[in-house]
Chains A and B, each alone.
Chain A
Amino acid sequence: MLSEAAFGLAQRGHDVEILSTCARDHYTWANEFPAGTVEIPAGRGDGDRAVLVRRFEVERDTPGTVRDRIGDRILAGETVSIQDQQRWMNDSLRCSGLWNHVFDHGDRYRAIVLAPYMFWTTYALSQIRPERSIIMPCLHDEPPAYLELFRSMIEGVHGVWFLTEPERDVAARLYRLPDRQAIVGASVEFPESHAPDEFRAEYGIDGRYVYYGGRREWGKGWHDLVLGYVRYLERRSGRSALQLVTSGVGPVDRPAGTERHIVDVGLLSDRQRDNAMAGADAYLQPSAMESFSRTVLEAMLASTPVIANRASEVVAWHLAESGAGLTYEGEAELVECLDFVTDEPAAAAALAIDGPAYVSDRYRLDHVLDRMTATLDRWLPVRRVQEVAG
């Protein structure tokens, strides 16, 4: 998300650096990329600017037991002292090289954009140059969001960029937001075309199906989705039923007897994913904690209706605004949604008719960059602080 914004801003003539860690995976935080700098052209033309990427090694030299112990208390909704909140934050990845770079050179940057709110990098770096820091929190209504630690962070920075209105509403409930706040959104890539038959042929899928792509884990609602789907199969006994096609990482955990119905196609490229979405009767979004839900927007672009967990305020809001799908609360409603899509395919498809326009109007890269640059010009005009050298 930030990477697309960085390259987009560079293409518009801004000098942009990406400051990051050497990690590829935020589960292990292992240093996989080499530390140092690399220049990546922002566009395909010879005269295009380059984005300078600086990577710094992550330090993970603590066992993480303090984080686990305090984290359990946070998730249980207990009141945790500010001292323990700080111990929780620091018993995770740390990146002193990155901190020192911003400490020593932070005044060279017109703006320092930090995301997401819960990472050490955001918390630690936002304290160094708060007067030019903008946080893109990617916030959910979840126990850590209630911590004093994050309240003081959000309230102390120069500006906040939100992805959606519901995210801003959550933040406004939890914090005293600074005046400088804006909903800038994030961009979604627009495929040139969709080729659902390509996907069917490649994976041998003949019949109708619903699709879920993403991490198959508890936090994403995967297991609840499987339970609901099995219930749907039971109810459709003797009648036609949709397959559940899934891609991504994490164990599928199919109940015995459902192997024919729940099909794992593994990891997909962006094109394969877009094609999978286009071929589906519906895209399923069971997660209750989405701050933006890019996949839902990608499904809308494919004119595929979405069936989503209503507990996710953001997804429910996308669907209310666009009309491009249905939401459910609980297993019974999920089963009804699946039944509807199975029995009324034309009506289900018609729901999605305004999906592409909804995404195009709001989440084209150009629109997102317009909003970002407009806020930058208002909040941190060039005359006020030195533009990035280079």
Chain B
Amino acid sequence: MRTLLVTPFPPYRDGIATYATQELRRLRADGAEVDVLSPVPSAARWHLPLGGPSAMVPLARRAAAYDRTLIQFGPELLFGRCRSAAERVAVWSGLAVLAARNPVELRIHEIEYGPLEQHPIERRLARLALGRARRVTVHTEAERAALDRLVGLGQRIDVIEHGRDFRPAVVRSRDVARAELGLSADHCLFVAIGFLQHHKGFDRAVDAVDRLNGLDVELHVVGSARVDHPDITGYVDRLRARCAEVASATLHDRFVSDVEFDLWLQAADAVVLPYREIWSSGVVERARLFETQIVASDLPQLRDQAPAGTIFFSDVDELTVALEKLRSATGRPIELAAEDATEDATDPPAGDRGGGSWIVEADHPDRASIQSQIAARARSTEIAGVATGGHRLGDRRPVDALLALGHLHRPEPNSARPGVAPVKRLIERLIAWRIDPLAMRLEELQRATIQAVAQLDGTGREDATPTHNERTPSS
């Protein structure tokens, strides 16, 4: 059987490309003849600029030469260049035609519900396209139910295991993984990993470890901005600033290799998924490969996907409690790991108690342990004072005004009006030789000023970086 796999593909690196590569390996091992078509030039045999209506006819033409077409469906893949509801409707129509003429499987990684809920015509065409597909697959029961609610395909939507084709890029013991990453061997180590963007909620993990206020705990946020968009770079800037304020949190703003990604998961005492929203998570599956403890937002999709023993939380207070329990359990069997942190949700927020929750068994209090916690808290309070240069976290410092100015973000040359975007792009190209050096100089001046003020200010920020500028003009 000849299969056409339509997907983002290496050497581009993102979650779906990694997923598709692993599926390709299995399909070929099973004897299938598989070619890949990717939306941009890559290691795929074919590439086609997907993302808008104009790609649908060539895609159908290419798919006609195969016995089966498997589309790793994500909003960017098929709709990434659409600028209007009309274009989205055209894509859905093209997909419906494609599915009518060829056996198509739609592997749904994510669908944007908003447009489908708002536009009945788009919803009808989505239902038509999905209904004509030979197979529609998702990764969690929650996704299946949500999709069914919208397009009404019922049991025709199959749930398949997200990580069925996953395999480790590297296998190490926890100690060796930590040594290779240059991490402390004996601290309790939490890892939040993935592309840095608001909906991943990594800032919530930073807030939680801040409340732990501990010397023996570390949170490592690992990842990079996936695309150069003001919203994302602004979020990363804010996250960086926040991590700089919290002694036990470190941001590794890095584009990591697959090997390093798996090393982090194996080095961690727990991997934290503080997502605000998600469809299904590749990180869950990779953490599962190494049986690493997972602490995850209480979202239906993650509830479905995460393995037994996962600790779920609803807000930063609950996450703080969960991390505190894990910290206290490190070094002995993690009995608490199977519990929901939500059981302690009636406790007052850790922040209100001044130093995070105490680890104590009410029936059999361990005096030595309590004494030890008292000493640790006292030390961490002193160090936190030093680390913030004597400033309380809520205080405004002179450098903050400069940081708040944000990066100089130039508006994207986009427009919903036909023909305007190309003109904007042309103008951008024509004036770039004058504008780019000025913009670079401005950025350099801003950075230098922030660092100079930070040094005078006593905060000594080497990583002083402006935050997202809320006044940035949009297109």
Contacts and interface: CB of A to CB of B under 8 A. Distances in A.
Given A83-B228, A123-B11, A148-B224, A94 B41 contact: yes
Contact of A151 (B12, B255, B258): B255
A87 interface: yes
Contacts of B258: 127, 130, 156
B151 interface: no
A90 interface: yes
Given A62-B41, A84-B228, A78 B440 contact: yes
B97 interface: no
B184 to A, nearest CB: 16
A99 B47 CA distance: 15
Contacts of A83: 226-228
B257 A152 contact: yes
A87 B11 contact: no
Interface in B1-23: 10-13, 21
A218 interface: no
Nearest to B18: A127
Interface in A65-82: 78, 81-82
Contacts of A156: 256-260
Interface string A96-136: 10011001100000000000000010011001101100000
B40 A87 contact: yes
A130 B10 contact: no
A61 interface: yes
Given A82-B225, A82-B226, A86-B12, A124 B257 contact: no
A155 interface: yes
Interface of B is mostly: loop
A190 to B, nearest CB: 39
Nearest to B11: A124
B25 interface: yes
Contacts of B47: 61
Given A78-B440, A90-B41, A127-B10, A152 B254 contact: yes
Q: Which of A124, A152, A179 has the most CB of B within 10 A?
A: A152
Contact of A155 (B226, B257, B436): B257
B44 A96 contact: yes
A149 interface: yes
A384 B178 CA distance: 23
A78 B440 CA distance: 8
Contacts of A91: 41
Contacts of B224: 82, 148
Contacts of A84: 228
Given A83-B227, A148-B255, A155 B260 contact: yes
A259 to B, nearest CB: 38
B10 A124 contact: yes
A152 B260 contact: yes
Contacts of B43: 94, 96, 99-100, 124
Contact of B259 (A61, A89, A104, A131): A131
A61 to B, nearest CB: 7
A153 interface: yes
A153 B12 contact: no
Contacts of B259: 130-131, 156-157
Q: Which of A81, A104, A179 has the most CB of B within 10 A?
A: A81
A90 B38 CA distance: 12
B42 interface: yes
Interface string B141-169: 00000000000000000000000000001
A149 B255 contact: yes
B264 to A, nearest CB: 12
Contacts of A152: 254-257, 260
Given A81-B227, A96-B45, A153 B40 contact: no
Contact of A104 (B11, B28, B257): B28
A91 to B, nearest CB: 6
B438 interface: no
Contacts of A127: 10-11, 13, 257-258
B255 A82 contact: yes
Interface string B374-412: 000000000000000000000000000000000000000
Interface in B24-43: 24-25, 28, 40-43
A81 B228 contact: yes
Nearest to B45: A96
Interface residues of B, number: 33
Interface string B243-277: 00000000000111111100000000000000000
Interface string B314-355: 000000000000000000000000000000000000000000
A86 B257 contact: no
Contacts of B24: 103
A62 B224 CA distance: 27
B65 interface: no
B260 A90 contact: no
Contacts of A124: 10-11, 43
A130 B169 contact: yes
B420 interface: no
B424 to A, nearest CB: 16
Nearest to A148: B255
Contacts of B21: 103
A284 to B, nearest CB: 35
A82 B180 CA distance: 24
B225 A131 contact: no
B257 A90 contact: no
A334 B153 CA distance: 78
A333 B256 CA distance: 44
Q: Which of A82, A148, A153 has the most CB of B within 10 A?
A: A82
Contacts of A100: 43, 45
A340 B42 CA distance: 53
A156 to B, nearest CB: 2
B426 interface: no
B121 interface: no
A226 B225 CA distance: 46
A120 B257 CA distance: 16
Contact of B12 (A90, A103, A128): A90
Interface string A155-196: 111000000000000000000100100000000000000000
Contacts of B10: 99, 124, 127-128
Contacts of B182: 176
Contacts of B169: 130-131
Nearest to B21: A103
B6 to A, nearest CB: 15
B170 interface: yes
Contact of A89 (B11, B44, B180, B436): B11
A370 B183 CA distance: 34
Nearest to A128: B10
A61 B49 CA distance: 13
A130 B47 CA distance: 25
Interface in B196-237: 224-228
Given A131-B259, A152-B257, 5 more contacts: A90-B42, A96-B43, A128-B10, A131-B169, A176-B182
22 contacts: A81-B227, A81-B228, A82-B225, A82-B226, A83-B228, A84-B228, A86-B11, A90-B41, A94-B41, A96-B43, A96-B44, A99-B43, A103-B24, A124-B43, A127-B10, A127-B257, A130-B257, A152-B256, A153-B257, A156-B258, A156-B260, A157-B257
Q: Nearest 4 pairs between A and B by C-beta?
A: A156-B257, A81-B228, A99-B43, A124-B11
